[in-house]
Chain A
Amino acid sequence: MPSKEIDMIKVLETKLKGKPVQIQLGHLGTAAVQASAGAYKDVLKAMLEADEKTAVTAITGIDLGANIGVYYHIRTSNAFITIQAEVPKENPKIATVTDLMSGAAFHELEVADLLGVVFEGHPSPGRLVLPENWPEGIYPLRKDVKASEVKLNPPSTVDEKLSDEGKLVKIVIGPQHPALLEPEKFAVTVDGETVKNVEPRIGYVHRGIEKASESRTYLQDVYLVERICGICNSCHATAFVETVEKILKTDVPHRAKYLRTIILELNRLHSHLLTLGHAGLEIGYETLFQYFWRDREPIMDLIEIVTGNRVISSSMTVGGVRRDIKDTDIPKIKTVLTDLRKKLPFYKEIYENEPSLKMRMQKVGTLSKEDALKLCVVGPVARGSGVDIDVRKDEPYEAYGEIPFKVITYTAGDTWSRMNVRMDEVEESINIIEYALDNMPAGAYRVKVPRVVPAGEAVNRVEAPRGELFYYVKSNGTAYPERVKVRTPTFANIPSFLKTAIGESIADIPPNFVSLDPCFSCTDR
């Protein structure tokens, strides 16, 4: 049983005496508080008063038959607690938490869209993941909805007003735009060249993966969930299989944990090198882009040697990993990593000394530490603003508890800091992989698990290259999961872009945006 939650639970038990709440330590693998729809906000207030680093990780909506469950997954500096509330299906109204934590806005909109829960007092209600012409009253994630009853309304033909009577012009960036790799729409209101307001519209890549996972077996779901994102595919697979293993209460062999760590860190390496190159492209620095991507190629070859494919690794399974590393491959891996490590000082010097790069990246897109905490951002975006959260240290999983590494933070909070965080993390990843290869325990790399998972639910968090990735899986005793909830890091980080872009020029939008490392396939699922 995790001991970190005990402190927070004791605080809550004192503060919430007399309220209709039920505190359960050990539930869901960490701790849970069952509260009524009226009392859950008091629990949140108590947690906020106790710890300033309290933030919303995700809000899960789940169809429980007569009721709809609204679960708030809250992380604090050393605990992870779920507040479980329920609302009746005929009248699904619940109070919003955006007045306490503005970062919860997107999460509430998604639950409203997909399950029909009305959050009273939400600052900007509207559609988030479903298109505008989706018929009213049909909520995809409810169990009683049928695909045949969905008939889309004809798309609206009203043109968006591109400028008002004054001097403000609305420029629509996306859905198709050279700066964005994947389609999302940002309507930017500008005055000359200064940005006044940003209105986002996401959901263009929504494929309904959470609903699709309910009609596939757990084994097939591993491959489905891997394809939520091409770049951080191993992290999705790892998070899912870890959650299922928590429900099954199995422990993977020690060697499998080290192998998983190596694959996850290789994933992080190639993702960070991709972002660093992409940022160079956005500021017009094509040379840096080509150099970074040239140095990323040997890492892709390494991933091919270890897992059998360059991008989608498909090497995690419930109970371990699917294949082992051969001893003859280890010297090859080490040579490539040593070569990459030798190239890093050159890139660090460019970031320190190149005047045009510094002019484009420093003091651009600044996010202060208070804003980072209020908006509940994760990953290098948070670490670039001085907030040191890293799931690998806060709640060690796989072999991270045994491998020494540093959590990198910078304090300036601008684009330059975030890119530097990623570059330093590249070096840390190389250290982690080398340590894991040197200290790999012998033994099996896989255990057999039953195909039918007993009833239960679990939560799990993994540090993807872009930040904290959260999974919640509920099983009902059959071979098919009841609910799979995914909260990806970019989903939590996009609201910070709405804050940092205001007041700067349009020309700063591409580097600012790329420094978040947006992955829209992850965001929309």
Chain B
Amino acid sequence: MNILIVDDSAAIRKILQRVLGQAKVPISQVYEAGDGFEALEMLKAHDIGLVLSDINMPNMDGLQLLSQVRAAEQWKNVPFIMITTEGSQAKVMEAVQLGASGYVRKPFTPDQIKEKLAGLV
């Protein structure tokens, strides 16, 4: 399975790459994007099986990305996990209503990410 990490922070992308390397899920390739626009290009170019995305990003944020992903026939069932500092109930509800498969608040432990992956993959 190919996984796409979407976060404007290179530090978080590096941490998530490391966590994915430790997770007990079959991973073919991990791709990275710095915002929603780059993520859409990655989704078009590769067969992505899971998206891990931040919310607050420049150009196109994670909620806008999620909305576009769910509106596209070919991606509407791709698991999409939000990983964000946005912790208000309103943001969580917005993400769930748009079709998020999971929601992890930063700061996170590797085990929290692995548990979410295990539940979806």
- Decide whether A and B are members of one complex: no
